[in-house]
Amino acid sequence: MVPYEYENRDRGRDALRRALALLTDLDPRVREHGADEVGDCLRRCAGDQDDTEVATARLVALTVAETDERVRESALNACADAATTYAMPLAVFQPLAPLLPNLSAELTGYVLLILGLTHDPAARPIITPYLNHPEASVRLEANDALTELSARRPTIIYP
C-alpha cells in the first residue's frame, strides 16, 4: 500500500533524496528542517526497506555528529518514524548507544524508544540500566521500550 502522495514511488524517492540533501547544510535550522522532511517521507513510505535503512543511517550519523539539540531531536524523531513504519535492524541504531549517558532526558527517551521498536533482544542490555535513571521520564521510557522490545513485531510492514 502506497499513500496517495507517493503513488509514484520514484516521486517519493526524489522527495526523500531532496530532504536528505538538507542534512548537510551549514545552517542548523536547515538541517533540522531536513530531518523533519526525512521523517515525513519515511512516514509516507517514500522508499523501500533499503532506502529507509540508508536514510535512517544518515539520520543516526547526523545525531552522532550534531551539537545542536533541536537538530538532534528532529533526527531522532525521524528515526522513530522509520522504526515505527518499517522493520529496522538494531545495527542501524547501534551508534546511538554510546551517546545515551550524555543526552538530555528527552533525547534519551527517543533513543530508548527507537531501540525498543527494533524488537531485537540484543537491545535489552542497552535499555535495562535506564530503569534506574534519576529522571522519572527516562525510567518510564525505558520501561516502555522493554515492553515494546518483547512485543511481537507488527505483521504488516510497509514495503
pLDDT digit string, tens, across residues 68-106 = 999 999 999 999 999 998 999 999 999 999 999 999 999
CATH number assigned to the domain with residue range 4-150, chosen from the 4 options 1.25.10.10, 2.60.260.40, 3.30.565.10, 3.40.50.410? 1.25.10.10
CA pair distance 41, 12, nearest whole angstrom? 7
* Reported pTM: 0.88
Domain-by-domain residue ranges, the chain? Answer: 4-150
pLDDT digit string, tens, across residues 49-74 = 899 999 999 999 999 999 999 999 99
First to last CA, the chain: 8
Can you spell out the DSSP letters for 31-65? HHHHHHHHHHHHHTT-S-HHHHHHHHHHHHHHHHH
